[in-house]
Amino acid sequence: MAAGLAAALAVGLAGCGTNADLEEAAAWFAEVEDADGFVGGGLTGVPASAEAGSDIGVIGPQVTQAFDEPIAVASVNGRCFGGGQITVYLSVSRSAGEHSSESAVTCDGESHELARGRTDVVGLAFGGWTSERSTTYYAVLVDEVA
């Protein structure tokens, strides 16, 4: 990733609404894969609950990314379009520990802050889920702070 850019993690989701065209969403995702700082993404899922008494978490990340060297992130932002709403689960791992969050993101094409900047980031785990349809695409991008 190119150093010196304002850090951002942008979770973009195409076609969040119930009438979204998955072909259009896939075409959008293909373009996003070529963007600077692309980390990962793919199809959203529908979260499942663990059995009672299980030690398995209710939500598991869909994508994990470890960095070779710690990075500084200015902000973590979610973005989606197509109407409706998604839920983004994000875990930011640092040398000193981990911070996890869950954020609702309105699919209005605008950027929505999921987490404030972090330094010494060594990894990310994230997933995008929607209750409005079973699958659509999302992507995560990260730029390092100089």
List pLDDT tens digits, range 58-94: 455 678 888 899 999 887 777 776 667 788 888 889 9
Q: Which two tokens stand for residue 41?
A: 């993404």
Report the number of distinct structural domains present in the chain: 1
In this prediction, residue 69 carries a pLDDT of: 92
Residue 128 counted as domain residue: yes
Residue 2 counted as domain residue: no
Average pLDDT over residues 112-141: 76
* Domain limits for position 103: 8-142
